[in-house]
Amino acid sequence: MVKTLLLFIATALAEIIGCFLPYLWLRKSASIWILLPAASSLALFVWLLSLHPAASGRVYAAYGGIYIATALVWLRLVDGIKLSMYDWLGATVVLAGVLILVSGWKA
């Protein structure tokens, strides 16, 4: 399960970076060349998503929860925004759902 969790986190980071870099170009006047690593990151995201061990619908459902938690960590570490009690509570609920989904994969 640890391997799957790390794969989910890597997948989420690839997606977030692939979307964050074009944001820098569109909103923060970054060079258009930043779109090249953005495209590479999104290609990596797709490839990583294909490595997950369960049926695609289950993977997408569980991945969504990990993405939410990873995006909140990104919000704190990269954007410097303090997480609220509601952020923490929402992430806890979502991650509980992910654990329920993942625990049934081998059943």
The alpha-helical segments, DSSP class H, found in the chain are 2-27, 35-50, 56-77, 85-103
**Distance of CA 21 to CAs 8, 17, 45, 64, 79, Å?**
20, 6, 14, 20, 13
The one-letter amino acid code at 69 reads A
In the predicted structure, residue 102 carries a pLDDT above the cut 90: no
In the predicted structure, residue 107 carries a pLDDT above the cut 70: no
- Predicted confidence at residue 36, as pLDDT, reads 98
Q: Residue 66 in 3-state DSSP?
A: helix
Delimit the domains of the chain by residue range: 2-103
In the predicted structure, residue 54 carries a pLDDT above the cut 80: no
pLDDT tens by residue, 3-42 = 888 998 999 999 999 999 999 999 999 999 999 999 999 9
pLDDT tens by residue, 76-88 = 999 999 999 999 9
Q: To the nearest whole number, what is the mean pLDDT of the chain?
A: 91
Query: Between 103 and 39, whose confidence is greater?
Result: 39
Q: Looking at the whole model, is its pTM more than 0.85? A: no
